[in-house]
Structure 1
Amino acid sequence: MSDVPFQSAVEQSRALAAGEISSRELVELYLDRIAAHNPVLNAVVTLDPERARREAGEADAARAAGRDLGPLHGVPITVKDSFETAGMRTVCGRRDLKDYVPDQDAEAVRRLRSAGAVIMGKSNMPPGNQDVQADNPVFGPSSNPWDTTRTSGGSAGGGAVATAAGLTAFDFGSEIGGSTRIPSHFNGLYGHKSTWRSISLIGHVPGGPGTGRWTNPDMACGGAQVRDARDLVPILRATTGTSAYDSGFSYTLAPPRATKLADFRVAVWGEDPACPVDSDVAAAMDDAVTVLRAAGAKVTVQPASLPVDIATNHRKAFLPLLYGALSYDRTGLTPAPNAALLARLIQHPRGDAGPALLGTFQSHYRWQLAHAVRNELRQRWFEFFQDFDVVLMPVTPTAAPVHHNKLIDRFGRPFEVDGVRRPYWDQVKWNAVANVSGGPATTIPVCRSRSGLPVGVQAMGPSGGDLTTIEFAALLGREVDGFLAPPAFV
């Protein structure tokens, strides 16, 4: 049984179907591991073990009765604490929601349950999804299972830790600027950002609770963090699709453009002066390119036809759109963070504080300018993907940094890239490309850093091409390190 907690969700589904293990046994196995390891990792912040046991028993009974089963039937999972879960508290890292227990599921959670998933609990995250770590004043920080002095990443950091450490089959999350991909990269997982608007975010906080639950925040997407890239396929098949009130519109996953590495046309974008990467990340990119060339893929490094550069994407499109989306939730605009923002603005007038201040209170006209840039870039990416199937990029400039223990950014939170101090929010810049384009992106764990931490890359594809980036990630992952269980938690 020692390898079962680290099996892929697809392997677990096969074992369940074959009667090699029951859903109830699988739930008990994960609950035991959560009890043993979560005190150190702080990945799972809310559990409902009795409901999980009951639902697992119902799943086993349905299987025994020969009833039609969903693609995730009996598989125990966790869900990011930003999704409303009926009867299970949804805190979103916020003090004002620490006792909030919804009476209905978020739409994506409802679909996961309909597909047969057993939701054991909720995973840790920062307040309001707004950080590149999983730390908040209600539950505290999640720690990386490869080195507990290191950050989990964020915002879906608790889910990445739980998945990597074998505390859940997978974690279902969300992102607006790399929140699934960054923690997947830091913890050695495959992480997926879905095509924009393909997964409903009704019941995601923010906007909810209240009438805000019906919003689908701009650029925000559903996603998941898994140990095997192909686990993402049944997850997407379970959750993609329009909301009931959009019944005149349909969303269909396009088939993968290729099923062998040799048939992929790969653009490699590994360098940009606005967001330099360290030698470990550069080595991971080089390793991936070497494998792709050996497999016969058509590889083009730094193609001249790239639709945008990092600086333009970030300043002219991502930041104003991001702050426009986040400005709906004003719970974070309290005296302490406001004072911190002012302090950073005084200390670094040309730093990140100015765009944050302007973006939060921007006019609709200014947002429309950014929206127009976004639409032009989406068209350019559409044209680019006529010649390429995926673009290979870094996820962040480094492997997981150490905990910085700052919930409020008073004077900046720099991190080092090969000994050079860089702004904290550089960690989202490579990810923001896919958030602006709207296309899917999948992380692939490639190798280990000089200090033994996981290092990944990401493959971005055309809108609707989720199965293309997932298939590419699965094939490349077989030829590089792929997922490895963190030794301290095996």
Structure 2
Amino acid sequence: MSDLTRMSAAEQAAALAAGEVSSVELTEAHLGRTAAVDASVHAYLDVSAEKALASARDADARRAAGDDLAPLTGVPIAVKDNIVTHGQVTTAGSKMLEGWVPPYDATVVTRLRAAGLPILGKTNLDEFAMGSSTEHSAFGPTRNPWDLTRIPGGSGGGSAAAVSSFQAPIALGSDTGGSIRQPAAVTGSVGVKPTYGGVSRYGAVALASSLDQIGPVARTVLDAALLHETVGGHDPLDATSLTDPVAGLVEAARTGELEGLRVGVVRELGGEGYQSGVKASFDAALAVLEAGGAEIHEVSAPSFEHALAAYYLILPAEASSNLARFDGMRFGLRVEPAEGPATAERVMAATRGAGFGDEVKRRIILGTHALSAGFHDAYYRAAQQVRTVVQRDFAAAFEQVDVLVSPTAPTTAFPIGEKIDDPLAMYLNDIATIPANLAGVPAMSLPSGLSDDDGLPVGLQIIAPARQDALLYRAGGALERALTSGWGGSLLDRAPELTGTTGETEPTEAQR
């Protein structure tokens, strides 16, 4: 593996600024890494080598001309394939949009291009971001670089796998109920869900509009902060966009300290149902927090026990509405009925039957039922009332502590196929991440170590009050420094090396 691909985004940016490497060299190194290993990992649905290299040449030319440059100019990036890219295919992991080339860029992509980041390609995801394992992609599953027989999390497993297999230093994902954080946890990477509205959603293929949030995937907290500042900030094209400036995140990630930080351990986001190795890693991280001067308090948020049920009524209801546009007449795929006249109703049925996968159909049916006459008050309205109570519990908790912590996911990465036929078991993977989406507060997952059970990565989740993303990065950066000083380097330095395209990995000592 090239030493260039092992560098963090911040290190790559520093090397570019010092003239030690060019953007073209960085981009070629990552494209070469993808050519070597992605047949095994399947992180990407589309790799755009020529466009990425053209962007890299432009970044190098701007640097040579002495132009004012952004901190990450010339650093390559991967983008989740539910974020639209002008002139480059965007499928949302669905046959419904197979081959679709958008006529415009998402706001975050516009900002990436303006900052001069070459886009390496579009990453795999569960279809329309519905899933926790990236097994529901219409184009095949992504595999976890730590163990290619296991899932990389979902829905954004492709972005997390690209970063953790060193095919990209940073990536963009989207998080509706944990789709950035849960993949980060099981792949040993860092994932951040910003405050709702802090990063524009314009150009993201909508799943659940009141929950969706674009955010960074990275190998370090600092890299996540650099990317967050690059794409964040107000966007007049997004009606939910906050007017708050996005600033101070990088400084917080670099200089934050644990001393005096009040940390709340959420009673309802632990206990029974969590893998023993996950519990042990979380407890060890709490000890590191305390040793660094943080104050540890237990807090209770009783409504969190009902958050999962509320989420799986609100999300399907909004998804049912958002995906109604894919009807065979206005957007995406069109399938004519096999027999009989091509009426609007019959075309719609044939198109949606062929274009949507099982999980998407399941959630559309559930959401349509929850919104139907006679059931709206019993289901959807009741779920929204639970959401309000979740928000109140967060507010009460943040009166006692600065940030909240929990394991990001109840288990490490499970084997591919283990839960694909058990939707309820799959949904439980999001039990710890969903409350933050319901409340719109920022949250981060960072590696807390390897599980004693199986030697696979475990993630720790940090949650901060709304609009206090800088506090999130302060806590995350400080904890990361404390943890990595004990490990002697990044957790990903201990990952098994992919041996090529054979579908095999060399195990680490911990995994042996």
For residue 174 of structure 1, what is the aligned residue in structure 2? 174
For residue 312 of structure 1, what is the aligned residue in structure 2? 306
The answer to whether 1:359 aligns with 2:370 is: yes
Pairing partner for 2:412 from 399, 419, 426: 399
For residue 438 of structure 1, what is the aligned residue in structure 2? 440
How many residues end up aligned between the 2 structures? 459
Q: For residues 116-173 of structure 1, give each alpha carbon's deviation from its aligned partner in whole angstroms, at most 9, with x where no partner exists.
A: 2111100011111101112346421111111000001111101111100100111101
Query: How far is 1:60 from its partner?
Result: 0.4
For residue 34 of structure 1, what is the aligned residue in structure 2? 34
For residue 218 of structure 2, what is the aligned residue in structure 1? 226
Q: For residues 230-280 of structure 1, give each alpha carbon's deviation from its aligned partner in whole angstroms, at most 9, with x where no partner exists.
A: 112221212222222569961234755992111210001255589621101
- How high is the TM-score relative to the length of structure 1? 0.86
Question: Are 2:134 and 2:152, in contact at CA under 8 Å, matched by a contact in 1?
Answer: yes
Moved more, 129-138 or 183-192: 129-138
Q: In structure 1, give the amino acid aligned to 2:265.
A: V
Q: For residues 436-481 of structure 1, give each alpha carbon's deviation from its aligned partner in whole angstroms, at most 9, with x where no partner exists.
A: 1111111111111222111111001101122212221222122224
Question: Are 2:233 and 2:242, in contact at CA under 8 Å, matched by a contact in 1?
Answer: no
Moved more, 83-92 or 243-252: 243-252
Q: Distance in 2 between matches of 1:227 and 1:69?
A: 23
Q: Distance in 1 between matches of 2:242 and 2:183?
A: 33
Query: How far is 1:92 from its partner?
Result: 0.9
- Counting aligned pairs with the same residue, the percent is 33
Q: Distance in 2 between matches of 1:387 and 1:273?
A: 19
Q: Distance in 1 between matches of 2:134 and 2:354?
A: 19
Pairing partner for 1:239 from 225, 231, 239: 231
Question: Are 1:93 and 1:127, in contact at CA under 8 Å, matched by a contact in 2?
Answer: yes
For residue 275 of structure 2, what is the aligned residue in structure 1? 278
Q: Distance in 2 between matches of 1:337 and 1:285?
A: 41
Q: Distance in 2 between matches of 1:339 and 1:161?
A: 23
Within a 5 Å distance, the mapping from 1:88-167 to structure 2 comes to: 88-136=88-136, 138-167=138-167
Q: Distance in 2 between matches of 1:113 and 1:428?
A: 32
Query: How far is 1:94 from its partner?
Result: 0.8
For residue 323 of structure 1, what is the aligned residue in structure 2? 316
Change (3 A) 1:149 1:190: same
Q: For residues 187-208 of structure 1, give each alpha carbon's deviation from its aligned partner in whole angstroms, at most 9, with x where no partner exists.
A: 001111111111111111136x
Question: Are 2:229 and 2:247, in contact at CA under 8 Å, matched by a contact in 1?
Answer: no
Question: Are 1:274 and 1:311, in contact at CA under 8 Å, matched by a contact in 2?
Answer: no
Q: In structure 1, give the amino acid aligned to 2:221.
A: A
Change (3 A) 1:308 1:117: farther
Question: Are 1:163 and 1:171, in contact at CA under 8 Å, matched by a contact in 2?
Answer: yes
Q: In structure 1, give the amino acid aligned to 2:312.
A: L
Question: Are 2:202 and 2:238, in contact at CA under 8 Å, matched by a contact in 1?
Answer: no
Q: In structure 1, give the amino acid aligned to 2:430.
A: V
- Structure 1, unpaired ranges of 5+: 208-215, 345-351, 415-422
Pairing partner for 1:293 from 263, 274, 290: 290
Pairing partner for 1:483 from 491, 497, 505: 491
Q: Distance in 1 between matches of 2:122 and 2:58?
A: 21
- Structure 2, unpaired ranges of 5+: 328-348, 500-512
Q: For residues 31-78 of structure 1, give each alpha carbon's deviation from its aligned partner in whole angstroms, at most 9, with x where no partner exists.
A: 100000001111111011111111101100100111011222011010
Q: Distance in 1 between matches of 2:10 and 2:96?
A: 38
Q: For residues 269-305 of structure 1, give each alpha carbon's deviation from its aligned partner in whole angstroms, at most 9, with x where no partner exists.
A: 255589621101101110111111111211013x2xx
Question: Are 1:191 and 1:442, in contact at CA under 8 Å, matched by a contact in 2?
Answer: yes
Query: How far is 1:2 from its partner?
Result: 3.6
Question: Are 2:111 and 2:230, in contact at CA under 8 Å, matched by a contact in 1?
Answer: yes
Query: How far is 1:19 from its partner?
Result: 0.6
User: Secondary structure of 2:481's match?
Assistant: helix
For residue 343 of structure 2, what is the aligned residue in structure 1? none
Q: Distance in 1 between matches of 2:68 and 2:364?
A: 54
Q: Distance in 1 between matches of 2:71 and 2:318?
A: 33
Moved more, 144-153 or 332-341: 332-341
For residue 201 of structure 1, what is the aligned residue in structure 2? 201
Q: Distance in 2 between matches of 1:279 and 1:128?
A: 32
Change (3 A) 1:222 1:245: closer
Q: Distance in 2 between matches of 1:337 and 1:284?
A: 42
Question: Are 1:307 and 1:380, in contact at CA under 8 Å, matched by a contact in 2?
Answer: yes
- How high is the TM-score relative to the length of structure 2? 0.82
Q: In structure 1, give the amino acid aligned to 2:215.
A: G
Change (3 A) 1:432 1:87: same
For residue 470 of structure 2, what is the aligned residue in structure 1? 467
Q: In structure 1, give the amino acid aligned to 2:169.
A: A
Query: How far is 1:377 from its partner?
Result: 3.0
Change (3 A) 1:441 1:34: same
Change (3 A) 1:475 1:462: same
The answer to whether 1:187 aligns with 2:192 is: no
